[in-house]
Amino acid sequence: MGRQVSEDSESRFARYVEGLTSVIGHADRTAPLRDYCVGLLAAEGRKSVEPMAAVTAPAEVSAQHQKLLHFVATAPWSDERVLAKVREMVLPAIDRHGPIEAWIIDDTSYPKHGPHSVGVHHQYCGQLGKQANCQVVVTLSIANHHASLPIAYRLYLPKVWAEDAARRKKAHVPEKIAFKTKPQIALEQIRWAYAAGVARGVVLMDASYGSNTALRNGVSALALTYVAAIVPTIKVRAVSDHDARGPRMSVKELALSLPKHAWRTITWREGTADPLRSRFARVRVRTAPIRRAAERAEETLLIEWPEGEPKPTKYWLSTLDEKIPFRRLVDIAKMRWRIERDYQELKQEIGLGHYEGRGWPGFHHHGTMCIAAYGFLVSERETIPPSGPRSSRLLTKPAIPSSYRPRGAPDPAAAPRPQLDRDAPPQIGRRDRQNSAAVPMLCTQLQTKPASKFMTQ
């Protein structure tokens, strides 16, 4: 059974890669594209170029390393076209379980020790939960309750990078890339998805995006609805039948002023162990900035205040129909959890944060290939029985020679007694090809002095 699953998966993977090659450009990129995807799915541990080369071409690691490196770092193929093809091929598998319900805006970060990789800056790093040197990527995903898939992926380029011509040139940042805030990048991705005819969904965003008025207004200008998390200090006016212009107050103040009967305990879905439930209230409001407040349309303020907490914990503004069932509103607001799982699997299973190059093209090419590999897994999930193989085992891979060790890996420690050492002693000039001959200009010296004092590589 397991063998049949693997064989079927491999044939489907071959067709999947064939679809990607139709938009990759030059025919010479077909094999590296396939091998890169195989490496992301089959390599264990870190998914940087060299381990993937060892998995996909164990007999010629050095040559394969160069091919994959060229493909991801310098080959001029289009990330946008590949991601569009991934969406086209994976969407039917998602749609089988219902239409797209949400567009999810978010970002993810990759800690970096050095300052030379493109976009690295001392900024908030969500992965670490603090300020640190890192890269931050803004993404847009489509989702329903069955699955989700990133469809846009763009590095946030801090202002110090955007205005530094020398650094831009060294990292090959395209001239058209100017400084934009993360909410501006998010709105650009939403506009692109709208123009591309992507199946519509409610736009979901966390408070770092949802608190941005320009972003919310931009979404509404496209006639899209949103459920946007906001910070507690956002000012609103409550709207009621007898008072269309209530006092201006923060959403936190409004929440604390609500009567006890305004709160309802709602279960929105089944969790891993127990049903997920909490207390919620909803109020019709208008946001109340200092200027032009009268132009604001009515929205629904959704508030969460879990039992046992001293104060409300989350707030959302929604432009969905005010008559939407309460449970449905909560369910949609909570759908953002899907993107958190995407990031977890993309980083832990696929190696999204493992790229070791420093340039703009390679960084985005690696991200695109990771999303492509992840898209294949999304389309394969329903074909794998619960007791079936892990995703990384769906594709067979050549055996890596026992003598192979990545560059920089330490030699195995020798046993106290040589006859008990399971590993051969380290060889001078160890590499994946034969040692080259001694440098000719040293031959005379080698004949006149003890050979044991010289080492050539």
Predicted local distance difference test score (pLDDT) of residue 99: 95
- Choose among 262, 205, 263: nearest CA to 231: 205
Q: How confident is the model at residue 126 (pLDDT cuts 50, 70, 90)?
A: confident
Q: In one letter, which amino acid is 377?
A: L
Residue 388 confidence (pLDDT): 43
Beta strand residue intervals within 15-157, DSSP E? 102-111, 121-125, 130-143, 148-155
8 Å CB contact between 162 and 178: yes
* Cβ atoms of 140 and 150 closer than 8 Å: yes
Exposure of 317 by Cβ count < 10 A (0-12 exposed, 13-18 middle, 19+ buried)? buried
The predicted pLDDT at position 247 comes to: 86
Does 371 have pLDDT greater than 70? yes
Q: CA 407, CA 51: separation in Å to the nearest integer? A: 10
Residue 291 neighbours by CB distance under 10 Å? 6
User: Could you tell me the CA-to-CA distances from 193 to 19, 67, 105, 189 in Å, in that order?
Assistant: 21, 33, 12, 6
Please name every residue paired with 237 in a beta bridge, in sequence order, or none if there are none. 248, 286
| Cα gap 385→329, rounded to integer Å | 33
- In the predicted model, what is the mean pLDDT of residues 274-303? 87
Q: Do the Cβ atoms of 359 and 172 come closer than 8 Å?
A: yes
The pLDDT of residue 340:
87
Confidence of residue 428 (pLDDT cuts 50, 70, 90): very low
Average pLDDT over the chain, rounded to an integer = 85
pLDDT above 50: residue 325: yes
Structure-model confidence comparison of residues 270 and 206, the more confident one: 206
Nearest to 226 by CA among 338, 332, 381, 87: 332
* pLDDT-based confidence at residue 443 (cuts at 50, 70, 90): very low
| Residue 242 confidence class, pLDDT cut points 50, 70, 90 | low
Residue 439 vs residue 344, higher pLDDT: 344
Query: Which of 135-139, 384-388, 405-409 is the most confident on average?
Result: 135-139
Task: Give the SS3 label for residue 74.
Answer: coil
Percent of the chain with pLDDT over 90: 67
CB 375 within 8 Å of CB 1: no
Alpha carbons 41 and 12: distance in angstroms, whole number: 14
Distance CA 415, CA 419 (A): 8
pLDDT per position as a tens digit, 287-298: 987 666 667 899
Top-ranked range on mean pLDDT: pick from 1-5, 287-291, 367-371, 442-446: 367-371
pLDDT at 425 over 90: no
| Contact residues for 148 (Cβ-Cβ < 8 A; gap 6+) | 94, 104, 141, 142, 338, 339, 341, 342, 378
| pLDDT tens for each residue of 61-90 | 999 999 999 999 999 999 999 999 999 999
Does the global pTM surpass 0.85? no
- Please spell the DSSP secondary structure of 3-40, one letter per residue: HHHHHHHHHHHHHHHHHHHTTS-SGGGHHHHHHHHHHH
Mean pLDDT within 191-214? 97
Q: Provide the CA 54 distance to its chain's centre, in angstroms.
A: 25
Asked if 335 and 143 count as a contact pair (C-beta separation under 8 A), the reply is yes
- For 272-277, the CB contacts below 8 A with 24+ separation are 276/334
Burial class (CB in 10 A: 0-12, 13-18, 19+), 274: exposed
Burial of 176 (0-12, 13-18, 19+ CB in 10 A): exposed
- Name the band, by pLDDT with cuts 50, 70 and 90, for residue 326: very high
Tokens of 66: 């160069």
Name the residue with higher pLDDT: 243 or 35: 35
Cα torsion 341, 342, 343, 346: sign? positive
pLDDT greater than 60 at residue 17: yes
What three-state secondary structure class fits 228?
strand
Per-residue pLDDT at 413 exceeds 90? no
| Mean local confidence (pLDDT), 318-342 | 94
Write down the pLDDT at residue 398: 56
